[in-house]
Structures are given as structure tokens and as C-alpha cells.
Structure 1
Amino acid sequence: MQIARRGLAALMLTPLAQRLARPALAQSAWPERPIRLVVPFGAGGNLDTLIRIVSPSMSQRLGQPVVVENRPGAGGNLGTENVARAAPDGYSILVGSNGALVNNPLLMARLPFDPARDFAPIGLGFRTPNVLVVAPRFPAQTLPDFVAYAKARPGQVACASAGTGTTNHLLIELLNAATGAGLLHVPYRSSGAATPDMLSGALASSMDQITTALPQHRDGALKMIGIGLPERLASLPEVASFAEVGLENGGLTSFIGLLAPAGTPAGPIAKIQAAFSAALADPALRQRIEAIGNLIAKPEEQTPEGFNRVIESERILSRRAVQLAGLKPE
């Protein structure tokens, strides 16, 4: 018996045994170094703001620094590709949204990554509704009146977006199809870029993210009259849902979630998902997030399976909107 024990101990000291044991040890010890959350846009935007609100809480729960890294460029493609090509070890995580994951594959003929093949969803974190905003002196100041006014003047009522192929542009197309409003799409260079023209009265309306439009709505400079959700928000009961004028489920929303490179082990994904969901459940953080107009994802959407279903649903709806707009991959 003693000889057998000595033999087993000797075996455990061999290089082969040590190599075989190393994956299990690494798995249990993960994370052993900082984790980077790659934001594929510049600092200061809504996506960047949201992930910086929750990253300190995630760091506390994971026991390692969670570092936000901005890698802007090519409509989100540069940062997205960076994570797609990273080692699948859980230390490089994408903060993903509609643009690179849904819209760009429908509109760009060549992408350096495949969202469905190259990523493993971790969990959805936030939804950012898009809203229809009108100038203060525009004749129609409710959503039904606005639709009726536009239908009587097809192609004459301009509605701005943050650019061709963006989520708010695609929502304009879905609203036109559902209501027959015949809005004239006017692409601007970014979210909020149309605000000066709205304030001057040179532009009738705009489809914008709620986070951009909410300050002007609250101070009365502009007026939100419609929101891309299945029902009205309790915090904004005066703003009608697009579902009220016939757009099924209110149309598209902008989403933000975490994804790992494909092939990342289940252990790190589960730990990141648990830390992310715990941060989202913190009442103080929720209050900060909702105060600027964002919505926390439902618990069932915060799982890998739930987030994957959200992405697939958005792909179907966005593909339809792209077809309605007559857009082709370039």
C-alpha cells in the first residue's frame, strides 16, 4: 500500500500529470488578470456611459479589474473584429449593439467577422428606445395627429435619423409601412446632429435615441410624441407607443449586451454573466441607468440563451426594414 501511494505521488510530479491538471486549475482560478470590455465606439456615448456605470460593480464581484477599452472606427467594426480575433479565454469581451451585430451584416458586403459564427453571447444588459421627436411649433403634437398629418402629405414631412441603415432609420421605415405615413427620411451624421435644425424649425421631426432627446423633452425645447416600445413607459406616460398606431410590438429598440469570442469556455462566461446580472440588479445603478432613459434587460434576456434570442429577433425585424428601405449591401 505504501509503495502504491509513493508511486501515485511520483506520477503526480511528472510534467505530463502537471500539464493534464493545469486546465482544471486554470478553470477554477479564473480570472487571474484584468478583463477588458471593448467598446467599439468613442468615449462619452450612451453605450460607453452604461458599461462604465456597471464595470466597477463587476470588478468587485470578479475580484479583478474590469477595464473599459474604447476601440472606435468603421461603424463599430474595428472594435468588434478585435474581440472576434482575441483569444477565447474570457479576458476580452465585446460590448455589442445592433450596429455591428445586426445592421452592418445586412448593409456591408464584406465584414472581417461573422457575428453568428465568431461570438458567444453572454447576456443582454440594456435596451435604449428610439423616439419620434417633433419641433415645438409643428402642427401635429400627438402621435395619431402626426401620422394623419403626414399621410395627408406623403413624402413632404421630413424625419431625420443618425444615418442610413441605423436602427432609428430602420424604425422610420417600419413606421411608414405600418401606418402609411410616408415620412421622408433625412440622414444626418450622428444621433442628435439634427437637433439644431429641429430647434430652428427647419426640420419637422426626428427619430432619435431617447437618451439624446430626453433632456430637450424635459425642458420643453422639443417634444417626444412616440416611442419604439410595445407600451408606454411609466416614467413618460405622455409619450405614446408606436404600437398604438399599428406598429407591432412598437418596432425596433437599440440593445447593448456582452459577448465573448466563440470557443470561450463555459466557466468564464458563467462568471461574467453572473457578475453582469448582479450589477444590473443593484438598485442604485438601476436608478442611474433608467434616469437617462435606458431600460434594464429582463432577467430571462440576461442569459446567453435569452440574449441570443433577442439578437435573432432583431435580425429578422431589421432585415425586413432593410428590404422596405430598398437598401443593398455595399
Structure 2
Amino acid sequence: MIRRTALALGILALAASTAQAQTAWPSKPIRLLVPFAAGGTTDLIARVIAEPLGRELGQPVVVENRGGGGGSIGAAETARAAPDGYNLGMATVSTTATNPAINPKIPYNVATDFTPIINIAATPNVIAAYPKLPFQDYKGMLAAVKREPGKYSYASPGNGSITHLMMEMFKLGTQTFMVHVPYRGSGPALTDAVAGQVPLIFDNLPSALPFIKEKRLVALVVAAPQRVPALPDVPTFKEVGLEQVNRMAYYGLIGPKGMPKDVVDKVNAAVRKVVQDPAIRKRIEETGSIIMADTPEAFAKQMREELAVYKDVVAKQKLTMD
């Protein structure tokens, strides 16, 4: 009888210990995987929130970079990780919409392999031109590319990048034709655009804005909800009648599929609290980004919608990774 009682007590203690371990998340450092090299907007936002997020959760949040494949290598690693809350990843339009839309060999399924947690921030995109071109505003650019189809080319950070597919969307909406010149990232694309090697560039605003401010590039039109304060004279795509192109680049948090809802909700609440800090908000907004801080459900819906939009563009323009 004593043995049975001791055994029963032991089982109860083990069950209580297991339950306590399950509710004590996090009990060790959390990895935040950035699917791009250090230095870009995705990496910057991850590092801005990592330290205060760790303080909020009670465990360090350690940023790791795993670049390559347009973000697909790092995203695939997040998809394969254990869904225990200790493996989070940064999600972008490139990794969850444009790249999967154009590349049939992506090693993950956006709809089934991830747990959306929160869209932290969104960044405007901009079409900019070499300053010595015969046009210096959107109307002039549109007239020029309509008048001489194929004469003008544009640079993007790469085949399948968000701005590549956004320019294809622009071409659909305006019935124009420009030659795509893909680069291995924004840096080399901007270098050639500033040098006049390629007349136009479609890029994320944070990386292009310094060159625009220095008048080494001329901003023509931006994808943003309203005019960007730093570029008050530059219209949005909505203003010029292309609302479908008025899309921003998002930077969110995801985890592997099957993450516990209580952990997802805890991370979401912690990020929302972190971005309420004026100092954190200022650092993110200085990149040209807009704080979003939405719900897991809203972010999941946005990811589905963006993937559908870009799949449609790829189909209509008959785009491939070649």
C-alpha cells in the first residue's frame, strides 16, 4: 500500500513538473533567424527588437543570419525547426510571397509550414531614376517608357524579389515594357543606378533614400499608404491610379507550423509592448518603416493575400527564375 501511494505521488509530481515546464516558456534563450545577410532592413529590424523582446520575455533573443536563395534557405530552416517557441524567424514578402510565387523549387509551403505571429513593420518601396535622364518626375517617366517600349531598363535586388514583381505589376497596369536587370541585392543595384549604368531602379525605400537625399537618384513614385514625410513631393502609386501597386514590404515574425497558441500569443503581446517604446519606435521609423504590430490572424491573412497577388502577376507575365 505504501509503495502504491509513493508511486502515485511520484506520478502526480512528474505530471505537475511536466505541466510546470510547459507553462514556464521560455526557460532558455530564443533563436531569431534572419534569412538574409547582416546589414539589410530585415536584419536591422530584427536586431532593434531582439534585446527588448528578450527582456520582456525573460530570456535572451539571439539573432542569427542565414542568407542565400533570396531568403529561402533561412526560411526553410525555420520551417524545419522544432515548434517549441525557441526557433523564430523573420518573414518578408520575398520569403513568403514573391519568391514562392516565381520559384517552384522553394523547399517549403508558405500556407502550411509556418505559424504567423506578428507583422512588426512595413516599408515603402520606391521607383527612382538617374538624375541626368530627360525626365525627373513620374509623368515624364511614364510618357517616356510608353513612347519608346524597351528602351529603358530597371534594376532590382534580384529575380523574384518584391520590387522585381512589383515592377512587373506596374508594367501590367500601365501596359508598358521595360527590361529587367536583376542584381545580387540592393547594394550593387544601387551602385549601378547611381552611376547611370541602368536608368531606373525599384527598391525598398530605406536603402534608396540616402541616395535620393544626396540627389544622386530622383524619386518618382512610392508605394506607401500616404506620401512619405521625407519625400513630400513624390506621389504614391494610389495617387497616380495604380492602387494595386501600392504595396509595402513587411517584416514579421513566424515560427514553424504547430507552435502552441499560448506561446504565439505571448510573443505577439511582447512584440506589441516593445514597439510601444518611443525609442524603439523611433529606431524602426528611421529606416522609413511604419509600425504595424497586428494579430497573428491578421498577419496570416496578409501573407495569404500577398502570395495570391504575386502568383497572379507571375502567371500573367509568364515569369520564371531563368
Same fold (TM over 0.5): yes
Aligned twin of 1:171: 166
Aligned to 2:90, what secondary structure does the other structure show?
Answer: strand
Alignment of 1:231-250 (within 5 A): 231-250=226-245
Give the Cα separation in 2 of the matches to 1:194 and 1:100: 20
Give the Cα separation in 2 of the matches to 1:227 and 1:8: 73
Aligned twin of 2:10: 14
Give the Cα separation in 1 of the matches to 2:49 and 2:81: 23
CA contact (8 A) 2:222 2:246 kept: no
State the Cα RMSD in Å: 2.2
Is 1:99 paired with 2:91?
no
CA deviations 1:144-173 (Å, max 9, x no partner) are: 221112111111111111122111011111
CA contact (8 A) 2:155 2:193 kept: no
Which segments of 5 or more consecutive residues in structure 1 lack a partner in the other structure?
1-5
Aligned twin of 1:204: 199
CA contact (8 A) 2:80 2:256 kept: yes
- After the TM superposition, list the runs of 4 or more consecutive aligned residues in structure 1 that deviate by more than 6 angstroms: 6-9
Aligned twin of 1:326: 318
CA 1:26–1:106 in structure 2 vs 1: closer, same or farther (change >3 Å)? Answer: same
Aligned to 2:252, what secondary structure does the other structure show?
Answer: strand
Aligned twin of 2:304: 312
Equivalent of 2:70 in 68, 75, 81: 75
Equivalent of 2:130 in 135, 149, 166: 135
Which segments of 5 or more consecutive residues in structure 2 lack a partner in the other structure?
none
Q: CA deviation at 1:9?
A: 8.1
Aligned twin of 2:39: 44
Q: CA deviation at 1:294?
A: 1.6
- 2:311 counterpart letter in structure 1: R
Give the Cα separation in 2 of the matches to 1:141 and 1:11: 82
Q: CA deviation at 1:109?
A: 2.5
Stretch of structure 1 that moved more, 224-233 or 161-170: 224-233
Query: Percent identical across equivalent pairs?
Result: 38
Aligned to 1:242, what secondary structure does the other structure show?
Answer: coil
Give the Cα separation in 2 of the matches to 1:96 and 1:49: 13
Size of the aligned set, in residue pairs, is: 322
Aligned twin of 1:3: none
Give the Cα separation in 1 of the matches to 2:185 and 2:199: 17
CA contact (8 A) 2:125 2:203 kept: yes
- 1:307 counterpart letter in structure 2: F
